[in-house]
């Protein structure tokens, strides 16, 4: 298909939008920026709720089963504050990952007017997604769950009910890091608790009965071990991908890079923003409550699928 001196490629035959169907890219992207991003996927929402419930369960066991009954005041205070701070950071990172636009390409921008505005060189090839009828930027891939093309899409994660892409990858990395940290912390506390209970009296090491205490702590150990293993591996693969400037999809497909790679620190700075600082490990960086409330009043959820 020839259009304005450049070639237009498609994965399968799919006609362009009619020329009289107006499309304003600037207004479309502005509308997207003013909406709260949320994927209404049943499986993803269940997984996201389970994630929160598991973190709340861990916090309950650590606080009420292990720390509050302890006779060592400072041991309880220090570990309680540390664990709860890490839990808040983990859940905040989860929310930012879930509610942040991962880099969705505007729907239906494959119009003649829009392509003319791209000022493409003669013979230059552009690609259109036949599923969402949008011009696919370099390194963008279509997500069948989000029903959108996502810039630098790494993968779709049901545990955060969202794609991990260009704009929310840093929050996903923080989420995996903080979950790994609280899982390791919970396992260490469980070890100390078992040791103190075995050495002393089970009836004195917890306000719950010994059988209930053992069951709660065994479940916490299983949860902590599984979460620590999964999130530590995921954190490592994400850092590796960022340092090599290669998404998981690109790695699995063995795609040859046609872009200029940002390696190591350049890749880290492009994802986390700016020079290394404490803002890198803060899920609250750039968060504005007032802007979020205005989005919620103005546009509601981005998806209704």
Residue positions annotated with a catalytic role: 157
HEC string for 22-70: CCCHHHHHHHHHCCECCCCCHHHHHHHHHHHHHHHHHHHHHHHHHHCCC
HEC string for the chain: CEECCEEEEECCCCCCCCCCCCCCHHHHHHHHHCCECCCCCHHHHHHHHHHHHHHHHHHHHHHHHHHCCCCCHHHHHHHHHHHHHHHHHHHHHHHHHHHCCCCECCCCCCCHHHHHHCCCCCCCEEEEECCCCEEECCCEEEECCCCEEEECCCEEECCCCEEECCCCHHHHHHHHHHHHHHHHHHHHHHHHHHHHHHHCCCCCCCCCCHHHHHHHHHHHHHHHHHHHHHHHHHHHHHHHHHHHCCCHHHHHCCCCCCCCCCCCHHHHHHHHCCCCCHHHHCCCCCCCHHHHHHHHHHCCECCCC
């Amino acid at each position: 298909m020839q259009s304005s001196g450049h070639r237009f490629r498609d994965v399968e035959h799919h006609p362009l939008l009619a020329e009289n169907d107006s499309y304003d890219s600037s207004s479309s992207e502005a509308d997207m920026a003013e909406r709260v991003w949320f994927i209404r996927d049943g499986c993803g929402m269940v997984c996201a709720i389970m994630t929160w419930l598991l973190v709340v369960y861990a916090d309950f066991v650590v606080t009420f089963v292990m720390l509050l009954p302890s006779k060592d005041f400072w041991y309880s205070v220090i570990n309680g504050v540390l664990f709860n701070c890490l839990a808040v950071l983990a859940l905040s990172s989860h929310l930012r990952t879930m509610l942040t636009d991962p880099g969705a390409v505007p729907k239906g921008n494959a119009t003649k007017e829009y392509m003319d505005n791209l000022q493409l060189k003669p013979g230059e090839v552009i690609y259109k997604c036949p599923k969402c009828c949008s011009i696919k930027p370099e390194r963008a891939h279509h997500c069948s769950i989000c029903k959108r093309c996502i810039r630098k899409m790494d993968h779709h994660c049901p545990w955060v009910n969202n794609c991990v892409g260009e704009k929310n990858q840093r929050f996903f990395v923080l989420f995996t890091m903080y979950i790994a940290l609280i899982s390791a912390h919970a396992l260490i506390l469980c070890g100390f608790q078992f040791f103190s209970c075995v050495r002393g009296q089970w009836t004195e090491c917890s306000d719950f009965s010994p059988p209930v205490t053992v069951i709660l702590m065994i479940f916490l150990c299983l949860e902590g071990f599984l979460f620590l293993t999964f999130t530590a591996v995921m954190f490592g693969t994400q850092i590796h991908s960022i340092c090599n400037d290669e998404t998981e999809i690109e790695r699995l497909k063995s795609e040859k890079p046609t872009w200029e790679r940002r390696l190591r620190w350049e890749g880290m700075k492009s994802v986390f923003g700016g020079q290394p600082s404490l803002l890198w490990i803060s899920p609250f960086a750039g968060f504005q409550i007032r802007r979020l409330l205005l989005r919620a009043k103005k546009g509601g959820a981005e998806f209704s699928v």
